[in-house]
């Protein structure tokens, strides 16, 4: 059976990580990082199918991390969705110009998030609740195999 799609959540708020894990735990392999630096390391190691990137992170911000991802030959094709509390005029454009493929303001609209993820993962049935057997990836400091 095909492996479940991998989603990397880069967010420094535990509540946001728990929410995304609850939404996708049955259909995807979910990994999490609480800083941009950890997210970059985790992305290089697991090569996720999608990244949910908070913009306001401690240290390196999510836009800088996205630029780094999009300039890396091994990572540049991974879709990045900016999930952020920055919802002022022009913030969406800033995220898109930094390389984010989509923008979702917080508080998170769960149905909108599910639809975006499904769109970026294409026909991968796992997003719609497939029942593939999960393969547990190696756990590391920068990620939590939250599935």
* pLDDT tens digits, one per residue of 82-95: 998 877 778 889 99
Q: Average per-residue pLDDT in the chain?
A: 85
- % pLDDT > 70, the chain: 82
Give the residue among 28, 6, 15, 12 at the shortest CA–CA distance from 129. 28
Note the pLDDT of residue 129.
Answer: 39
* Nearest-angstrom CA–CA distance, 30 and 91: 27
Note the pLDDT of residue 123.
Answer: 58
Average of pLDDT values for 50-73? 97
Look at 32 and 3; give whichever has higher pLDDT.
32
Element (H, E) at 80: strand 80-84
Note the pLDDT of residue 19.
Answer: 94
**What count of other Cβ atoms lies within 10 Å of the Cβ of residue 106?**
16
């Amino acid at each position: 059976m095909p492996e479940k799609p991998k989603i990397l959540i880069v967010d420094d708020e535990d509540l946001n990580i728990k929410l995304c894990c609850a939404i996708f735990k049955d259909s995807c392999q979910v990994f999490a990082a609480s800083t941009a630096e950890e997210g970059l390391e985790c992305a290089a190691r697991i090569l996720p199918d999608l990244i949910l990137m908070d913009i306001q992170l401690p240290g390196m911000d999510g836009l800088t991390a996205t630029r780094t991802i999009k300039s890396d030959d091994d990572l540049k094709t991974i879709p990045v969705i900016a999930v952020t509390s920055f919802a002022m005029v022009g913030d969406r454009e800033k995220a898109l110009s930094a390389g984010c493929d989509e923008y979702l303001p917080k508080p998170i609209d769960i149905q909108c998030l599910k639809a975006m993820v499904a769109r970026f993962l294409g026909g991968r049935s796992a997003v719609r609740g497939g029942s593939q057997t999960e393969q547990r990836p190696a756990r590391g400091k920068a990620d939590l195999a939250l599935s």
